[in-house]
Amino acid sequence: MSAQPSQDAAEWFDVGAPADFEDGEVAPVVADGIEMALFRIGDDLFALRDKCTHGRTKLSDGFIEDDCIECPLHQGKFAIRTGEPMSEPVTKAVKVFPVRVVDGRVQVSTAA
Ligand code: FES
């Protein structure tokens, strides 16, 4: 799905409704041209850059286990909450983007 800038702050981008993201699932979204993998864990939402730091594989094609996303190519794992590498061969964290829910819409920020 494509994101549009929110009306109140240009750095936040609408990526859908909270119900679009199911618990324990990952969905690819694009905000300001940046591909992200958006996760729901319980009531919390997390956005990671949708690219493994070990290669060019999309993390949104990976597998979720124990609050980690496993890369589908070489099975490296990242912590969904922090982006930190959790198992070889990944050694570099993946970028985490801020997520918020405003007026019933999920927004992500591309800010550092
Ligand atoms: Fe992701 Fe190698 S490309 S672990």
> Confidence band (pLDDT; 50, 70, 90) for 5?
low
Residue 64 reports pLDDT greater than 70? yes
Taking Cα atoms as reference points, which of 58, 57, 65 lies closest to residue 41?
65
Q: pLDDT value at position 51?
A: 98
> Confidence band (pLDDT; 50, 70, 90) for 87?
very high
Mean pLDDT of the chain: 92
Mean pLDDT of 65-83: 97
**DSSP characters over 22-34:** -TT-EEEEEETTE
Cβ–Cβ under 8 Å, residues 101 and 45 = yes
CA distance from start to end of the chain? 22
Residue of 53, 63, 74 best suited for mutating to test ligand 1, as the one with most atoms within 8 Å of CB: 74
Residue whose tokens read 């198992």: 87
Positions of E strands within 32-84? 34-41, 44-49, 63-65, 68-70, 77-79
Taking Cα atoms as reference points, which of 85, 29, 28 lies closest to residue 75?
85
What predicted TM-score, i.e. pTM, was given to this entire model?
0.89
Residue 19 reports pLDDT greater than 90? yes
Closest residue by CA, ligand 1 atom 3: 55
